[in-house]
Amino acid sequence: MKRRDMLTLAVVTAALFTTTSLVASGDAMAQDKKWRIGFSQATTIEPWRAQFNKDIIAEAAKHPEVELIITDGEDKTEKQVADVENLIRQEVDAILVSPKESAGLTGVVMQAIDARIPVFVLDRNVETDKYVQFVGGDNKLIGRAAGEYAVELLGGKGKATGNIVEIWGGMGTQPAHDRHDGFHEFTDKEPGIKNLLDQQSGDWKQDQAYNIMATALRNNEKIDLVYGHNDPMAYGAYLAAKDAGREKEIKFIGIDALPGEGVTWVKNGELTATFLYATPGADGLIQAIKYLNGEKVEKNVVLPTMKVTAENAEQVLKEKGM
């Protein structure tokens, strides 16, 4: 391994495990860099977030003119607000932010904008549109695709019957609401479908989803389908059903489709389907660099999705070299 590769590796490793990290690409000293870009990540304890950081770090390594500073909000709004305040104080050239929740991060995003720092919002939104750009998946569309597939699994349009357990992501986030709304555009049209729970949130976490499902299993003799707003929660629900000896009667649908998680669980027959929610790590950074170099960027960049079922899971894994 060349010294430079070792250095990069060391920095990348540090970036994944410390709260604030400097990701310098190449050998140049930080002060030689043209652009200092701050990225405020909501948390790193969730697998999708870890992948997101890997993606942005890999992209940064392709831009020797960029110094990337990554902070970890540790899944707490107050911590993430302090992180963004810190980036403002450092007078970075641009701030990328993937908010823990919309309302809580809006004020500090406005502070950055008032300080004339261009802000790029990634994956979860804030309650203003004064930022330069939003980059992320279309959660309404993904919810609709999941709802349409649920109806198909439960007997088809006009004939679907079954009891559904829906496990919400964080209530303070737009993706959870959009994933809910899109899904119900399809399932609410079916008189034979019954929703067993009312707005129960697992806050995107596998263990919380496990507990919600364990209770739902105790309270309901018949559960036909689980819709988790992300794969860790769909999988948590699967594990609860398995522990109750009822996993074979139930279909499980999730969202994210990370190769090592959702796609593998589909391949193993644990989840019935997952929908790709690509991380905006690479695209977010590319767009910010474009903007700093004086190019025009669009207000919204929508990342593509796809459905992963037993039919294509293996192919998807192969394409990822797994």
State which residue, 48 or 186, has the beta carbon closest to ligand FRU: 48
124 is a site residue for ligand FRU (CB under 6 A): yes
Q: Does 46 contact ligand FRU by CB under 6 A?
A: yes
100 binds ligand FRU, rule: CB under 6 A: no
49 binds ligand FRU (CB under 6 A): yes
State the minimum distance, in angstroms, from the CB of residue 48 to ligand FRU: 4
CA distance 187 to 207: 26
Q: Tell me how far, at minimum, the Cβ of 236 lies from ligand FRU, in Å.
A: 12
Q: Which of 38, 147, 175, 262 binds ligand FRU (CB under 6 A)?
A: 175
Dihedral pair phi/psi, residue 75, rounded to 5°: 65, 20
Q: Does the footprint of ligand FRU cover residue 210 (CB under 6 A)?
A: no
Q: Which stretch binds ligand FRU (CB under 6 A): 53-61, 63-71, 169-177, 289-297?
A: 169-177
178 is a contact residue toward ligand FRU (CB under 6 A) = no
Nearer to ligand FRU, 25 or 201 (CB): 201
Tokens of 46: 């969730």
* Contact set with ligand FRU (CB under 6 A): 46, 48-49, 123-124, 169, 173, 175, 204, 230, 255-256, 277
